[in-house]
Structure formats: structure tokens, C-alpha cells
Chains A and B, each alone.
Chain A
């Protein structure tokens, strides 16, 4: 491990018993994160994202494996890890009975800042996270977005070199979410903080994370930039429309041979016949495809190539869409993450804590 590596783990695993069943929450995590990276764990509920974070932040003891975080071993020197990292969990970090400013001052004291230093840092964070108007309110009185901003501020009091964020934007409305991301990105620009987050929002991982680790059933199944993952695994969704089903049927063989992949006959949203096929660089190949169909006397009515999403990547990797995987884990009563999703504007209260047996 060199000095530019801020997280290094080998074979990190966690198993626990839940409702009489042996669950392998994290199955052998090998991780190397360079200083300054912004990376995201993407995966459905119950994939082991939160449990992995809780292992790395010393909240849980691993069943097997080793990890060094910010230069300290998670088992031999948990206190060293804790003093160097910031952690924003899924829940609300501030106590409901405490005032916003008071919680920040207390947090500063917990991290060993003197009174003046804690007060200075508190005021700085109140300013930069726009908590000024609510600084004397109790946490109970805050909206979901305000609570989340306080959570982030609490995680930053000691200006950590590494910040863990567990589902930072779950339960926030789109505007609060965008606002939160602005703060996170600003933080990175100004301090070079390494940011490690979990999310099950595809757009979020796609748009902000420089490196995406796709997690499923306790294992990392892909690890690259979002673009590379999409280009390498999914390909563009090419859709060719036809005037009538018979013509679409006739064109199927021609299209399949033109792209070198089996085309499926489907209907679009308006019920019109289309042929669909997923191919790498579909947009670039679209002119050739149309020409080939024309030459075969089967002119298309429409042609489109839609770039893939990370959901397509997940589908290509696991055979399930993220949404299906989420629903399946909820049916199984799994609660790696709170079950409140984007529709809720208040932050959820996690009754079942992730990875806690």
C-alpha cells in the first residue's frame, strides 16, 4: 500500500444471522482507493453496500479479511481510523432534541477541537452549508433537506481526508438532491477530500461518481468509470420502426445479420411494430443499418439509438434490473437500506439498521 492509497482491503467479509438464516452480507471485498477519488457503490437494497461502509468505518467487525483506512488498520487501530474519517450514515446524525449549532459544537469537541477552533469550524460549516437561518432550531424542526445538510456538516467538522456517505440523497426531493451534490463537489474542489458513497440512484452514480463499483449479493461485480461500464457491457439500444408488423417480421433477419446480434420484434409505446437490438456504438452504426434495410427493400419508418444507462449495465451483469432487484430484496424483508425511496420528502427513520445482526 503506497501513500496515495487511502483505502486498501483484502477479502473483507461479513456474515451474520438474520431471522435464523445465515447471511453473507459482504463476501470478500478487495478494494484499492486512491487519495482524492470520488467513487460510488451502486447496487440494489441488500447488496451489501452499507455493510461494506460500516466495516470500513469500524462500526462493524469483519468476519474475515483485512482493511486499512486512511493509513490505519480497522481492527488494530479503530480509533485512528475514526479520527481521520468522516461518516454520514443513512439516518439523521443530529439528535432531535439538540439545536443545529450545538450539535456542531459538540461534534467538534468529540473530534478533539478546542472551544475556539470548534466554534470557528462550526460557523464556517453553517455558512458553507447554508444552515445560518436554522442554526438555533432543534433538529426535530428541520426539513429532510436541512437535516441532510446538517448530517454532512457534522461529518465534516474535523475536515476529514476521507468522507463516507451512506445513501446521502435518499428521501430528498430533486432540488435538495442537486443542492447537496453541489456542496459535495465544492468540498472536493476546495479540499481534495476523497469521497466514498453508496447510492441506488443510477443517475447520481452516473453523473457524479468518477468510479462506479457495482455491487450485488455481497460482491463487487464491476468496477470502472460509468462511461467505460456502459460502453463495455451494455451498448446502445437500437430501435427500428416499421409501417406494419409483416414488414418488421421480414426485416428481422436482415437487421440481425447487419448488426451481428439477434433482433427482437416488439411494439413501441404507441403500439407500432419495432425491431429492437442492443449493440455497441449503435448511434454510429445507425446509418449503415438504415442503408442495409433500404437496399433489402424494407425501408424503416423510424430509427433510434439510445445510449445505455447504468441500469442496463446492471441488467447485463446480473440478468435483473436494479428495480427488480430492489423489489425482490424488499419482498424478502431485507433492509440493507431504508425502504423509503424518492417519493418521500422526509428522511426515513431506519428501524432496522443496516448490517446489524
Chain B
């Protein structure tokens, strides 16, 4: 067991090296969430008639979840690339536990998530967005736990689709967009049809978004926070189990 911890740590350190060498790569990948923040917020304001600050208070927590969804959901492609070049094969011959190759990678996701979320919070600040400090800290933990799970699932998808890049992206996009829309991240689902609300009720992402809104708004003890935590932990548990199994079989 201690060797798995040790091996995972070594894999984590390896995965973090390119981030440390080129931290700005984390900012570049924020482009997509920033487009949503910049172009979607005015529409939301126009539709609801609410002031910018109030709209951001509702929208920014969703953007933070979006960062995790897009960024972490895509990390499998890195592994897929290493599978195609031979770098992954090299690590399979090294005397380290197979599971650590997954766990170390999944844990790495915490770093980009935290950095990127804080950058978004800072960008939204001048426009009137305010985050409860403790709530923000708790919110980051929740995002990180969810991100570990989603990252693991993304790696599992890469292991399952092997060298078929198109298949990886096809499946990934097919899953991500319905999850996104059915989470109430971009538009409130309260006015949607009953079936949409029913699907959203079992979508862990929608619980996560609701929990983030409560946490960043300072409602630390709200029941929705616990539901969000449960959703994040469930995704992490499923992701790690599936991911470790796929990595061991590879």
C-alpha cells in the first residue's frame, strides 16, 4: 500500500512538471469559460433585468464547474497521446503500480482547477462578484473532489478508446454537452419542462452547481451543500474505481 502511495506521488510530481515549467498554459485553457463569462452574462442580465452583480453571483459558480467539466473532462486525450507515442508503454514497464498511473494523474487535476477557479473569481471581482472566503475554500475542495472523479473517467475513456482519437472526442462531447445543459449551469432549469428537471435531479453536476452557488454565497450549512458533496464524492469514487480497473487491464 505504501508503495502505491509513493508511486502515485511520483506520478503526480511528473504530471505537475510541465505545469510548473509553463504555468501560463493553465491561463490559456481558460479561454472557453471566459468567452461564456463575457458573452453569456450580458444576455442573462438582459433577460432577467437583474443587476450585473446579482447575475454574476448566480452565474460565476456555474462557470467554475464549467472549468472542471471542460478542462478535466479532456485530460484523457493527454494519456491517449502518450499511448500513441510510446511514453505510456514506457511507464508500464517501470516497476510502479498500475493504479498509481491513474491516481497520480487524477490528483494532478486539483492544481489546474484551483488556479483557474481563483483566476475566474478574481476576474469577476471588479464587476461586483463577491465570494464568501470560507465558502470559496469549501467550494474549491468540492470542485477538486469532483475533478479527480471526472479526470479518472476521462482517462478511462482514453484507455477504452485506445488510439481512436475521434472516438474519444465523440463520446466525450456527446456526454459533456447534455450534462452541461442539464446542470442549470447556463440557464435556470426551474422554468424547463418536467422531464428536464427530472434528469437534472439525478445529474451530479446540477447538485454540484447548486452547492457551489450556496457556498460562494456564504450559505455554508445549507442542505444543498451536502447533496453537492455527496455528488462529488460519488463521482470521485466511481471514477477512481473505473479508472484503476481500466489502467490495471491496459
Mark A residues whose CB is within 8 Å of B: 57-59, 79, 82-83, 85, 87, 89-99, 102-103, 106-107, 109-112, 138, 154, 349-353
Contact = CB atoms under 8 A, between A and B. Distances in A.
Interface string B42-85: 00000000000000000000000000000000000010011011
Contacts of B18: 97-99, 102, 138
Contact of B86 (A57, A90, A138): A90
Contacts of A98: 14, 17-18
Contact of B90 (A154, A349, A352): A154
21 contacts: A59-B89, A59-B93, A79-B95, A82-B93, A85-B93, A89-B89, A91-B84, A91-B87, A95-B85, A96-B87, A98-B14, A99-B17, A102-B14, A102-B21, A106-B14, A107-B94, A110-B91, A112-B95, A138-B18, A350-B86, A351-B84
B10 A106 contact: yes
B219 interface: no
Nearest to B17: A102
A109 B86 contact: no
Given A82-B95, A351-B163, A92 B86 contact: yes
Say which size band chain B's interface belongs to.
20 to 34
A91 B85 contact: yes
A352 B95 contact: no
B171 interface: no
A94 B222 CA distance: 48
A110 B86 contact: no
Contacts of A351: 84, 163
Nearest to A87: B93
Query: At the interface, is chain B mostly helix, strand, loop or mixed?
Result: helix
A114 to B, nearest CB: 12
- Considering the complex of A and B, which 10 residue pairs feature the smallest CB-CB distances, nearest first? A91-B86, A106-B14, A83-B95, A93-B90, A110-B94, A82-B95, A109-B10, A95-B87, A102-B17, A87-B93
Contacts, number: 81
B13 interface: yes
A78 B85 CA distance: 23
B96 interface: yes
A99 B92 CA distance: 20
Given A98-B14, A102-B17, 4 more contacts: A89-B86, A92-B85, A106-B17, A111-B95
A57 B87 contact: no
Contacts of A95: 82, 85, 87
A106 B104 CA distance: 13
A106 B18 CA distance: 12
Nearest to A93: B90
A90 B89 CA distance: 10
Contacts of B89: 59, 89, 91, 93, 353
A93 B85 CA distance: 7
A349 B87 CA distance: 11
A87 B90 contact: yes
Contacts of A82: 93-95
Contacts of B82: 95-96
A109 B13 CA distance: 10
Contacts of B96: 110
Contacts of A58: 93
A111 B91 CA distance: 10
A94 B85 CA distance: 8
Given A110-B91, A111-B94, A93 B86 contact: yes
Contacts of A109: 10, 13-14
A84 B117 CA distance: 44
A350 B18 CA distance: 24
A219 B84 CA distance: 28
Nearest to B78: A97
A154 B86 CA distance: 12
Interface string B164-206: 0000000000000000000000000000000000000000000
A107 B11 CA distance: 10
